[in-house]
Amino acid sequence: MISSKSNPKIKYLRRLARRRQREKEDHFLLEGVRLIEEALLSGWPVKMLVYTPPPGERAGALLELAGKRGAQLMPVDEGLFRELADTRTPQGVLAVVQRPGYTPEGLLAGDASLLLLVDGVQDPGNLGTMIRSASAAGAGGVFLLPGTVDLYNPKTIRATMGSLFHLPVLGVREGEELVARLKAAGFLLVAGVPAGGAPLPAVDMTGPTVLAVGNEARGISPWLLQYADIQATIPMPGRAESLNVAMAASIMLYEVVRQRMACSGGGSSLE
């Protein structure tokens, strides 16, 4: 059992708490029984499983599964584990997971007809919620433009509630290049704006559609608004001035679901 903070593997785990190191190593940390189960059952490559012995029944089953999948099992002292954990009440299991090799080309080569484009959202809880909603709505993927919070921030991962492992989510470095590809592929780019846009229910989104949402304070970047085919606003007959960006994205996604279910007579195929 490892109990020393100076152990090279412990130092490596500490480094993975930083975004720059996660991007350099192409790995990230995943904490908690349920999320690690989701990753393993979804086929994500879990490289290492760190745990505090003795594991409980569910954690023990997780260790067995991870071992069968080739993960290195590493017991650590409980006090040291608490220092590594991001949560206040850790469950005693922490995994090192390899990031998936998604590419825009691979995603667009599929048959996805609903995508979400996230431009500069800063709150990890908002991003995680949007990913969860996109998965629930049957979207084919989520693109993160530069300036968006790190997908592998522990708070973002927890907010996805496991949806991260069922939906391609990828960051891109060149936003304009991506948007040009989407439009060339026949996607309608619908930009959500807080006011002044076409009423969302009046926008026909039964064809291939990419929904764009922006930063909590500034909204969508001006350059992206220029590329948009339509700027759409969620009708708000009440007295609220605006909606949380994650809530707004969820409403937009489910307006697409509503329209497509109406067209298909009750069924819906969004991917």
Surface-to-core class of residue 207, CB atoms within 10 Å of its CB (0-12 exposed, 13-18 middle, 19+ buried): exposed
- Residues above pLDDT 90, as percent of the chain: 83
Mean pLDDT for the stretch of residues 125-136:
98
Average pLDDT, the chain: 93
Amino acid letter at 138? G
Q: How confident is the model at residue 87 (pLDDT cuts 50, 70, 90)?
A: confident
What is the rounded CA–CA span in Å between residue 227 and residue 181?
Answer: 12
What does DSSP assign to residue 111?
-
Cα–Cα nearest to 147, from 75, 218, 244: 218
Asked whether residue 194 carries a pLDDT value surpassing 80, the answer given is yes
Mean pLDDT for the stretch of residues 260-271:
68
What is the rounded CA–CA span in Å between residue 34 and residue 55?
Answer: 14
Q: How confident is the model at residue 57 (pLDDT cuts 50, 70, 90)?
A: confident
- Residues above pLDDT 70, as percent of the chain: 97
Asked whether residue 268 carries a pLDDT value surpassing 60, the answer given is no
For residue 111, what pLDDT is reported? 86
Q: How confident is the model at residue 169 (pLDDT cuts 50, 70, 90)?
A: very high
HSE-CB of 116 using CA atoms within 13 angstroms: 36
Q: Tell me the CA distances in angstroms from 23 to 15, 88, 98, 169, one per residue in order.
A: 11, 25, 10, 15
pLDDT: which is higher, 109 or 243: 243
Mean pLDDT for the stretch of residues 232-239:
94
What are the strands of the beta sheet with 169-171, ordered from one edge? 169-171, 141-144, 114-119, 209-214, 188-192, 230-233, 198-199
What does DSSP assign to residue 200?
G
For residue 3, what pLDDT is reported? 84
What separation, in Å, do the N-terminal and C-terminal C-alpha atoms of the chain show? 46
Backbone angles phi, psi at 254, to 5 degrees: -80, -15
What is the rounded CA–CA span in Å between residue 258 and residue 169?
Answer: 23
What is the rounded CA–CA span in Å between residue 238 and residue 250?
Answer: 18
Surface-to-core class of residue 147, CB atoms within 10 Å of its CB (0-12 exposed, 13-18 middle, 19+ buried): middle
